[in-house]
Amino acid sequence: MALRHGGGALGPAVAFLAVAALLGAVTAGKFDDVVQPSWANDHVVYDGDLLKLRLDANSGGGFVSRNKFLYGKASADLKLVPEDSAGVVTAFYLSSAGDKHNEFDFEFLGNVTGEPYLVQTNLYIDGVGNREQRIDLWFDPTADFHTYAVLWNPSQVVFMVDDTPIRVYENRQNATVRGHHRHANGTTTATGSSPFPGPQPMAVYSSIWNADDWATQGGRVKTDWSHAPFEATFREVRVDGCVWAANATDSDAGEVSRCSGSSWGKEGRYWWKEKEMSELTVHQSHQLVWARAHHLVYDYCVDTDRFPVQPPECAGH
C-alpha cells in the first residue's frame, strides 16, 4: 500500500504558524532532539508533554527523525485516534531514500467506533514491497499508550508491540532454503533466495492521512469528516541506532563499515548487533507463536491468489 501522501493543503495563517513554532520551541524539548515536522507543520501539534499528528479535511501531518541510522531500534509510545477513525491511517515507519529504498512499516488502520483497529506491517526491499501482514491487537490501542518498535540488524528485522514480537523477517541469505513453485504437473522449480534489506541508512517517520479508498473494511467505510480532527498522540519517540554521519552520502563505504562492523557490538555500544540480538530468545519465540496464532488475520505468504508463486522468503511458512 502506498505510504506517500499527496502534498495536502498548506497551513492557513502564517502568523499562527509563527506562534506555534515559538510555543513548540518551549514545549517540544524531548521530541525536538529526536524528530522534526516533515509535512504540514500546523498539523504536528505539541500539547504539553505530548505530540499529536492531526488529520482534518485540509491535510494530515507527519514528522521525521533528525538523524539517519544504520541498524538499531526505533520505537514510539503511541495512542491511536479514539472513537470513529474509519478511513484514517496512522503510520510509524523506517525508510531509506531512492528508487531502491528499504522500508519497514507499521500502519494502523482505523475503524468505526467500537470495531477493532488492524495493524498492517510491510517491508520494502530494494524498492519492492507487497509483503503485507495484518494483525488485530489484544488491547484497545486508543485507550492508552502502547509501544510499537522495529529492531533492525544484519540478521533480522523484528516488529514488536509492547515487547511482544509480532513479525520477524530473517536474513536467510546464507541459508540453503529456497522458495519453490509447485507446477500443475507436480514438479517444483526453485524461485530464488530470500532477499534481505542491504545497508542503507534509514530515517524514522510518522504520519497520519486519509486512506478511505482502501483502509477500513476494504475501503467500504469512508472517513466521516464531521468527526474531524482525527489525532494520533505520541508520548515518546526513541531511536537507538548507529547514527549516520550528517556529511556522508547514503552509500558512504566508511559509514557502512563503521555501523556494520561486528567488533563494535562487543563494546556494548551497538547492543542491537550483539550475538543475542541475532535471533529471538526462546521466550520471544513463544510470544511470536502466540501472537500469530491468536492475532494474525492476513499474511501475504499464504495468499495464493496474489502470489501463485510463493515469495522466496516465505519458504517454510
Q: Of 111, 200, 207, 310, which lies in the binding site for ligand NAG, with binding defined by CB under 6 A?
A: 111
Q: Of 3, 91, 94, 118, which lies in the binding site for ligand NAG, with binding defined by CB under 6 A?
A: 118
Distance (Å) of CA 219 to CA 89, 95, 156, 298: 12, 26, 33, 16
Tell me the backbone φ, ψ of residue 36, rounded to 5 degrees: -145, 155
Q: Which of residues 247-266 bind ligand NAG (CB under 6 A)?
A: 247-248, 252
Closest CB to ligand NAG among residues 245, 296: 245
Contact window for ligand NAG (CB under 6 A) among 64-72, 95-103, 182-190, 303-311: 182-190
Examine residue 116 and tell whether it contacts ligand NAG (CB under 6 A): yes
Closest CB to ligand NAG among residues 247, 304: 247
Closest CB to ligand NAG among residues 76, 118: 118
Contact map string, positions 56 to 95, toward ligand NAG, x by CB under 6 A: ----------------------------------------
Closest CB to ligand NAG among residues 28, 135: 135
Smallest distance, ligand NAG to C-beta of residue 65, A: 19
Smallest distance, ligand NAG to C-beta of residue 238, A: 25
Tell me the backbone φ, ψ of residue 16, rounded to 5 degrees: -60, -40
Q: Of 171, 191, 193, 284, which lies in the binding site for ligand NAG, with binding defined by CB under 6 A?
A: 171
Contact assessment for residue 104 and residue 157, using Cβ atoms and an 8 Å cutoff: yes
Closest CB to ligand NAG among residues 14, 184: 184
Q: Name the residues that contact ligand NAG, by CB under 6 A.
A: 109, 111, 115-116, 118, 154-155, 171, 174, 183, 185, 187, 215-217, 245, 247-248, 252
